[in-house]
Structure 1
């Protein structure tokens, strides 16, 4: 059997790769051995890019997959909206408490008093879900929008999350323009960056992608 130079090169490359990965795994294992903490996380998804709610719902669905109950409050979306996530979440009534409590985008209502009233009602419901032992995770969808427009006092939200969120409860907050104070308090913050969006090419929001 004749072994070509190319085959020898491949074998050497494979050997180098295996050794590199062995060292990489040893280093990672050493790091992972130091990560022993376990706590309920305050998670913020913000930024101009698409995917903030979608990523949060991924965590919601992971909890459902593990059989863990979750609570969801949507601060902006209206009950009249035909969203895919609402239809799917409704299929797990024993694991999901869903409250769709918005009245649409702020530029649609054009009524600040009405928007504030809706936000206050939704926040009271959110606090109940966070306090409840029944939920392992609570998603506060688009709460950042509410805080951006000062429909709720940021100090009240931060104080509640600091003082009353159970230590083992995960809370996810989504929406653009997260307040710096909330980012400072959070354990995990992801800023979705807009690189390209079909809306700028004249493409409307599409079922299954945006809702």
Structure 2
């Protein structure tokens, strides 16, 4: 082993010892409230990645889609076709608000989605519940943010993970969350005239 390799090995050994010491202090487990927000792409995609991890581990989970209604998605097709026994999928929205152009109907559908979400979260056999695009419904005040935060604090089972996605998550929601990731938009093909594509956006 040359000097450079020895220095690298010593540096990595020191780093591993420090990391092991930190990891030894992390002993608790709890159901997390997770928020994916920001203008960048990938909020729902990352959340579905966690849903598929739960499915892969044989853990019961559920999805409630608050906005994406009429659009066919690969995630929904895969789950409903192959994993409906372990992951229930509820598409409650009827499309983006600028498509429906019916505020009263949007509010009605958002409230119905929230009722379904509460039912699924209360069921402690669900180890994860994904509330896809709920942040949009909260932003437009279709659902009361304070009610959602209070429910998550007081009624979510201790070991259930809840993931809330969508742009413009409120400060109140982010403060209540255990994990918040903000997706930053750096570059997007839509700005270059490229439309949403199968396998990328849906």
TM over 0.5: yes
Map Cα deviations across residues 168-204 of structure 1 (whole Å, 9 max, x no partner).
Answer: 1000000000010000000000000000000000000
SS of the counterpart of 1:157? helix
TM-score computed with the length of structure 1 as normaliser? 0.94
Matched, 1:139 2:130: yes
Which structure 2 residues correspond to residues 153-168 of structure 1 after superposition, within 5 A? Answer: 153-168=144-159
Map Cα deviations across residues 121-141 of structure 1 (whole Å, 9 max, x no partner).
Answer: 000000000000221100000
- Structure 2 unaligned blocks of 5 or more: none
Once the 2 structures are TM-superposed, how far is the Cα of residue 69 of structure 1 from its aligned partner?
0.6
Matched, 1:170 2:161: yes
Once the 2 structures are TM-superposed, how far is the Cα of residue 84 of structure 1 from its aligned partner?
0.4
Matched, 1:105 2:96: yes
TM-score computed with the length of structure 2 as normaliser? 0.98
Residue of structure 2 equivalent to 1:50: 41
> In structure 2, what is the Cα distance between the partners aligned to 1:184 and 1:123?
20
SS of the counterpart of 1:104? coil
> In structure 2, what is the Cα distance between the partners aligned to 1:51 and 1:108?
22
- Measured on the aligned residues, the alpha-carbon RMSD in Å equals 0.8
**Residue of structure 1 aligned with 2:139, choices 138, 148, 153:** 148
**Residue of structure 1 aligned with 2:195, choices 191, 198, 204:** 204
Matched, 1:118 2:99: no
- Structure 1 unaligned blocks of 5 or more: 1-9
> In structure 1, what is the Cα distance between the partners aligned to 2:191 and 2:87?
35
> In structure 2, what is the Cα distance between the partners aligned to 1:27 and 1:47?
33
> In structure 1, what is the Cα distance between the partners aligned to 2:145 and 2:23?
36
Residue of structure 1 equivalent to 2:78: 88
Once the 2 structures are TM-superposed, how far is the Cα of residue 24 of structure 1 from its aligned partner?
0.2
Once the 2 structures are TM-superposed, how far is the Cα of residue 11 of structure 1 from its aligned partner?
1.2
Matched, 1:19 2:34: no
Give the structure with higher Rg (CA). Answer: 1
Once the 2 structures are TM-superposed, how far is the Cα of residue 81 of structure 1 from its aligned partner?
1.6
